[in-house]
């Protein structure tokens, strides 16, 4: 499949996935990691039904899916934060590479997870947000 002119191939962006037992837990994780600039965006999807093996039994559970977008540079910190917050003993934490994407979106993603600069005035500026009112 050809790459469109407004997209480019990348190797430095990932989407991390986890699931939680409640919407409240998913929202808590989402807000915590975005606030700490570890993820640019977290989409919470659910409820979903998961079937899995746990303690040698097949289980089915209602869960909420969290899709987190970050950079490889911030990935380890994101994992550490999610493991610290997550209520599960063994949370699902997997990362999928983002193979290509819109240049504007991925530039926004990178700037959203970049630690804040010490010169806040120049970092904020009066620019219109390229994100508009849409989400991730």
Q: Catalogue all structural domains in the chain, each as residue range(s) with its CATH number.
A: 14-116 (3.30.70.120)
Mean pLDDT of 67-82: 96
> Over the stretch 8-58, which tens digit does the pLDDT of each residue have?
556 699 999 999 999 999 999 999 999 999 999 999 999 999 999 999 999
Residue 5 has pLDDT above 70, yes or no: no
Nearest to 61 by CA among 88, 86, 42, 81: 88
Mean pLDDT of 91-116: 93
Question: 48-52, 86-90, 131-135: which range is least confident on average?
Answer: 131-135
φ, ψ of residue 97 in degrees (nearest 5): -70, 145
Confidence of residue 136 (pLDDT cuts 50, 70, 90): confident
CA distances from 53 to 59, 60, 61, 90 (A): 6, 9, 11, 12
């Amino acid at each position: 499949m050809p790459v469109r002119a407004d997209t480019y191939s990348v190797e430095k962006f990932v989407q991390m996935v986890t699931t939680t037992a409640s919407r409240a837990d998913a929202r808590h994780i989402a807000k915590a990691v975005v606030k700490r600039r570890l993820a640019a965006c977290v989409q919470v999807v659910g409820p979903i039904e998961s079937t899995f093996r746990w303690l040698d039994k097949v289980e089915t559970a209602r869960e909420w899916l969290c899709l987190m977008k970050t950079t490889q540079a911030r990935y380890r910190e994101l994992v550490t934060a999610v493991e610290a917050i997550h209520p599960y003993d063994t949370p699902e934490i997997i990362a999928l590479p983002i193979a290509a994407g819109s240049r504007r979106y991925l530039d926004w993603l990178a700037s959203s997870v970049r630690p804040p600069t010490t010169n806040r005035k120049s970092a904020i500026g009066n620019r219109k947000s390229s994100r508009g009112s849409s989400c991730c």
